[in-house]
Chains A and B, each alone.
Chain A
């Protein structure tokens, strides 16, 4: 059974800092891994998807890396802004896709103006 852990659970930093959010998973037999952000009481917004054969993926100020063999992914946020404040969730997809995404509890991020 896939299990996901995200560290840190919460983070509060001043605007402009570069950040690294960590995600670890127990079953390395994954198809892909997605990073999402969730604003309070809202649905999930997909940020990046990394295929199992890829090492990293970039979108704007976001960069996600994947080390499948060690069961780790990181999300790097450059030049953080107050609008980046949200909960960030990583979710690997395993079991041929039919097991659905497995989520951790996320990292609650606050960017101070």
Chain B
């Protein structure tokens, strides 16, 4: 059983640019959630995808968007990058048909906005 993977590991962008982060779910999982973790803080929920549709969203503006593909992999897109978007971005996968199932996290993508 393969774990959750994310790419790239690190990324440096400048303010105003756009970025795409990628996540491959753990085998057998159909739900992907994305989280933003600023330095010294706990992760904050961005949104969740199930069956290729956004299923829930935290307090993040529309310039944060996502996709889920038929193979359950996912992308997080951030437009018009701001300095405060610098953070560790984590994705987590789980099985939606078992709503109380464990969420497994990937290693994260460290985004730096200059």
Q: Is the CB of B48 within 8 A of A106?
A: no
A4 within 8 A of B: yes
- Give bound CA distance, A31 to B56, whole Å: 15
Within the complex, what minimum Cβ distance (angstroms) separates B77 from chain A? 18
Contact partner of A103 among B42, B99, B101, B106, CB < 8 A?
Answer: B42
**B contact residues, total (Cβ < 8 Å):** 31
Assuming the A-B contacts A4-B42, A41-B88, A44-B90, are A100 and B56 also in contact, with contact meaning beta carbons closer than 8 angstroms in the complex? yes
Interface assignment of A63: CB less than 8 Å from any CB of chain B? no
B48 touches A100 (CB 8 A): yes
A80 within 8 A of B: no
Which of B41, B100, B105 is the one whose CB lies under 8 Å from A31? B100
Compute how far the CA of A28 lies from the CA of B4 in the bound complex, rounded to whole angstroms: 30
- CB pair A100–B102 under 8 Å, yes or no, is no
Residues from chain A with Cβ under 8 Å of B105 in the complex: 36, 43-46
Provide the residues of chain A in CB contact with B48, threshold 8 Å. Answer: 97-98, 100
Residues of B within 8 A of A89 (CB): 42-43
Beta-carbon contact of A44 and B43 below 8 Å: yes
B22 CB to closest chain A CB, in angstroms? 15
- For B58, the closest partner residue in chain A by CB is A100
Q: Are B40 and A105 closer than 8 Å at their CB atoms?
A: yes
Residues facing B in A53-111 (CB within 8 A) are 89, 91, 93, 95-106
A contacts, CB < 8 Å to B: 4, 31-32, 34, 36, 41-46, 49, 51-52, 89, 91, 93, 95-106
Sample of 14 further A-B pairs with CB below 8 A, known A43-B4, A100-B58: A42-B108, A44-B105, A49-B101, A89-B42, A89-B43, A95-B56, A97-B100, A98-B48, A98-B56, A100-B35, A100-B45, A100-B47, A101-B33, A105-B41
Q: Which 3 A-B pairs have the closest CB atoms?
A: A98-B56, A100-B45, A103-B42
